[in-house]
Amino acid sequence: MESAFESDFVREIVRAALREDLGDAGDVTTRATVPPSARARGRIFARRECVVAGGAVAAEVFRQLDGAVAWSCVPDGTEAATGSTVATLAGPAGAILTGERTALNFLQRLSGIATEARRAVREVAGTKAVVLDTRKTTPTLRALEKRAVVAGGATNHRFGLFDAVLIKDNHVALAGGVRRAVEKAVAAGHPLGRIEVEVDDFDQLQEALEVGAGRILLDNFSPGQTAEAVRRVAGRARVECSGGLRPGNLRTYAEAGADFLSLGWLTHSAPAADLSLEIVPETEGEAP
């Protein structure tokens, strides 16, 4: 169930998206060609198989345009076969036409992320590796995109800069090395076991192990280097891999023993799902 904060966020995002599309003049084409009394019904269907995400956001689009639009959508996480119906809607034709593109933009973007997340999770099935997202998200849409990742079966990494310590290469450079960076984080009050540090090579890995970091991020290590790093860590820290990971090249990293695989791909490069809306006039007295 959505929290009040999430509901408010969705309303604000949809309001901004509609403002972007409608401008000051509104939908001039629909207003010129479709009578205000016209009614229609339609369905959104998958042109290619996908995992659905974003139904609640699409519903909010039509709710804001006209509360009389009836909307029904399959639950997030549903696998939609090619040609299958993802959502149905009926009501004032003008609102349906006006909201079509905004609703589809949300659905296609979020369903594309969920689809790639599902692919990634299936690829590493049977291993201990957990598929994570990253902060490489569309500005202002992070909450929606991370929710889509979960709909696909993957797991959220930290949401933002505020909820976890992740010491990356530039922090290391400015702090004076891995050890100094970790020590400074501990001095700032962060538990050692919850500090994650990114390493670029085996020397930095050793330094991270010696200082006691709880989680180590292997940046752009090969599968072979990952296996060697896991051997050296020997259970003293959790091991995460990042850098160039995407569905199709994950299995070897998972089999090398990584605990986590973080994929910026899921939110910065996942292709949009191929969805389309069919609309037909609704005759008077016809059931939605």
Single-letter amino acid, residue 30: T
Query: Which is the catalytic residue, given 27, 145, 198, 282?
Result: 198
Q: Is 198 a catalytic residue?
A: yes
Query: Which is the catalytic residue, given 101, 128, 194, 231?
Result: 101
Query: Which is the catalytic residue, given 219, 228, 255, 274?
Result: 219
Within 10 Å of residue 248's Cβ, how many Cβ atoms? 10
User: For 89-214, where are the alpha helices, taking DSSP H only?
Assistant: 93-123, 142-151, 169-175, 178-187, 202-211
Contacts (Cβ under 8 Å, ≥6 apart) of 103: 44, 57, 58, 61, 62, 277
* Phi, psi (rounded to 5 degrees) for 249: -130, 20
Residue 269 has what DSSP assignment?
Answer: T
The four Cα atoms 162, 246, 131, 13 give a dihedral, to 10 degrees, of 50
Query: Which is the catalytic residue, given 136, 180, 236, 246?
Result: 136
Q: Is 101 a catalytic residue?
A: yes
Query: Which is the catalytic residue, given 168, 232, 236, 238?
Result: 168
Q: Is 219 a catalytic residue?
A: yes
Instruction: Give the whole-angstrom CA distance, residue 243 versus residue 12.
Output: 33
> Annotated catalytic sites, by residue?
101, 136, 168, 198, 219
